[in-house]
Amino acid sequence: MSEIKTFEIPKWGLSMEEGTIAQWLIKEGEQFSKGQEICEIETTKIVNVLEAPFAGTLRKIIANDGDTLVVGGIIAICADSDVSDEDIAAYAQSLGGGIPTATESKEMKQEIKTAAQPETKAALTFSKSDHEKASPLVSEDGYSVPISLQGYKETDGIFATPHAFKLAEKHNVDLNKIEGTGRVNRISVQDIQNAVKSAGGAWPDVRNQSSGKAAKSKADDSQVLATPVARRLAKEWGINLHDCRASGSRGRVSKADVESVHHRDNPTVAETAVQASVPDAVQATAIPMNGMRKAIASRLQTAKRNAPHFRLTVELNVDAIQALRQQINVTVPQVKLSINDMLIKAAAAALIKVPKVNVQFDEENQQILQFGQADISVAVAIDNGLITPIIKAANTKSLAQISSDMRDLSTRAKTGKLAANEFQGGSFSISNLGMLGIKEFDAIINPPQGAILALGAAEKRAVVKNDSVVVHEMVTATLSCDHRVIDGALGAQFLAAFKQFVENPALILV
């Protein structure tokens, strides 16, 4: 019999956690070759095309258009025609008749793939006499496991959730005696609870029915491995580290693990608030947030909360740089520079002159990462929100190269065709709203970067020069800095260098 294979949500980029099926490019029953485009998958920022890693026939689509799955989630089943429909259906049934959604454990798919098929266990039944004979050990936090279920031991053949394994080991539960009701007979915490209660023991509710929140651990968490940031946030929010997953390096609880528990225990009430504030006679349209909008909200909320922002503003005389731009555009017909291209180049030169602003803040390890080249993220507005494609090594590129790269990146950003490494990272950001008529504004830092430069419109203004009022074309530039890594004097040095390059544009040509 031919081998049954699957298509899964790939991991594009370090920060990718889930993907949404945008559209299938082939249909069930169609054959495909290796490298052929199979479907489009939308992440928080872009739409990528999944290419087939092997040749075969698409036998069953598991995830339909619009379905969101975690990385590694199975989206389709593939096999040659000699595999019967019954075998395909049986394989799909082994997945539980469905797919791991974005709220399920990321380890689900891998465990299904690698775990041995456990033998189905008969349901445990206990008579009254059994209950009387049992002598459960009662712990301080309300757990009471009957002797008949005691005896935890590590066995490779047991298929259970990570949380179930953790609690079983802690409370000495023999998982060989528990019937799993999950996908592929996977044992969950709920299964342990039901078995313990049926045997006459006590197991605190998995969910607090009155509040709808998970029961909180009261155990001492001082010895739980966690990053410094995770431990600080847990203390600030009153979260016990025992209640957090440990997905960080070396089995540590990470910042994201603590934030996940915080968001779970404090769900948003925005929808309720909107409904309460709108009169009965007025109907509001609820618009779900797409993946990009959620990512923007999460990242910028984190930046605003964690990074102590301060701002510095400077006025730039752009007469000279505008004159140079127009001269180049007239002299070299194939080049069409914008003032934004010129300002990107000036910012890159300033970052090399003042390298301590060309940094990222590694919050997890409490260190500053300083870069030797200026990788400048440039904010681009698109239909779904905002994306920041990167002009890499802008300090080494000509104005023509920067202009060409900017047009290419902007075009592909608006069609969702950027690769992950083209918008993730960067050492500094620029946001320009001048083309929309905005005179000046300040921007929120793009973490983990240390600063962002906000540029307003170029406009003619009356300026006092040598005790006389003259007219110059001016731009207001505001630098937002993370005070943890950039001090006021350092930010001022950068703006002074930037102003020098803008007002003496010949310097950026050499």
- In percent, the amount of the chain with pLDDT more than 90 equals 33
How does residue 201 score in pLDDT terms, banded at 50, 70 and 90? Answer: confident
Q: What average pLDDT does the segment 216-226 reach?
A: 79
Identify the DSSP state of 449: B
Q: What is the mean pLDDT of residues 284-313?
A: 81
**pLDDT higher than threshold 90 for residue 325:** yes
> Could you report the per-residue pLDDT of 327-364, keeping only the tens digit for each?
999 999 888 999 999 999 999 999 999 999 999 998 88
Q: Which of 11-25, 54-68, 231-245, 363-377 has the highest mean pLDDT?
A: 363-377
pLDDT of 114 > 50? The answer is no
Q: Does residue 7 have a pLDDT over 50?
A: yes
Say what the pLDDT of residue 184 is.
57
Q: Which CA distances in Å does 261 have to 122, 246, 296?
A: 35, 12, 20
| Model pLDDT, residue 402 | 95
Q: Which residue has the higher pLDDT, 114 or 64?
A: 64
User: For residue 162, is pLDDT > 70?
Assistant: no
| Separation of alpha carbons 359 and 452, rounded Å | 11
Residues 6 or more apart whose CB falls under 8 angstroms from that of 379 comprise 386, 387, 388, 429, 430, 431, 432, 443
**Runs of H (alpha helix) within 318-398:** 319-331, 339-353
Residue 416 has pLDDT above 60, yes or no: yes
Per-residue pLDDT band for 247 (boundaries 50, 70, 90) equals low
- 91 versus 431: the higher-pLDDT residue is 431
Tokens of 259: 């934030």
How many of the other CB atoms lie within 10 Å of CB of 245? 18
Indicate the pLDDT class of residue 22, thresholds 50, 70 and 90.
confident
Span 213-223, average pLDDT: 71
Q: What is the pLDDT of residue 450?
A: 95
- Max alpha carbon distance in the chain (Å)? 103
Architecture of domain 5-112: Beta Barrel (2.40)
What is the rounded CA–CA span in Å between residue 11 and residue 298? 20
- Mean pLDDT for 143-148 is 83
For the segment 247-271, the average pLDDT, to the nearest whole number, is: 69
CB-CB contact of 41 with 20 (8 Å): yes
pLDDT value of residue 131: 40
Least confident span in 16-30, 49-63, 92-106, 173-187:
92-106
Residue 279 has pLDDT above 60, yes or no: no
Instruction: Note the pLDDT of residue 431.
Output: 96
Of 165-179, 266-280, 454-468, highest mean pLDDT: 454-468
Contact (CB, 8 A) for 92 and 72: no
Catalytic residue among 131, 242, 309, 483: 483
Measure the CA–CA gap between 405 and 401, rounded to whole angstroms: 6
Burial 81-117 (b: 16+ CB within 10 A, else e): eebeeebbeebbeebeeebbebebebebbebbeebee
Q: Does residue 101 register a pLDDT over 80?
A: no
pLDDT cut 70: percent of the chain above it: 80
Confidence of residue 88 (pLDDT cuts 50, 70, 90): confident
Residue 373 confidence (pLDDT) above 90: yes
Instruction: Specify the pLDDT at position 309.
Output: 94
The domain locations on the chain are 5-112, 128-204, 213-265, 294-509
pLDDT score, position 126: 37
Average of per-residue pLDDT values in the chain: 80
Which pLDDT belongs to residue 205?
A: 64
Superfamily of domain 213-265: E3-binding domain (4.10.320.10)
According to CATH, the superfamily of the domain at 294-509 is Chloramphenicol acetyltransferase-like domain (3.30.559.10)
Question: Quick one: which of 180, 212, 216, 17 has its CA closest to 102?
Answer: 17
Q: What is the mean pLDDT of residues 352-380?
A: 93
Position with higher pLDDT, 424 vs 278? 424
What is the DSSP secondary structure assignment for residue 36, as one 8-state letter? Answer: -
CA distance 114 to 184: 12
What's the average model confidence in pLDDT over 104-108? Answer: 41
| pLDDT top residue among 161 and 456 | 456
pLDDT band at 182 (very low <50, low <70, confident <90, very high): low
Once rounded to an integer, what is the mean pLDDT over residues 115-136? Answer: 38
257 or 435, which is more confident:
435
Q: For position 378, what pLDDT does the model report?
A: 95
Tokens of 289: 């947030």
Q: What is the pTM of this model?
A: 0.54
* pLDDT at residue 128 is higher than 50: no
Q: Considering only residues 250 and 488, tell me which one the structure prediction assigns the higher pLDDT.
A: 488
Q: Is 171 a catalytic residue?
A: no
**Of 442 and 244, more confident:** 442
Q: Which two tokens stand for residue 118?
A: 């456990």
User: Once rounded to an integer, what is the mean pLDDT over residues 202-221?
Assistant: 61
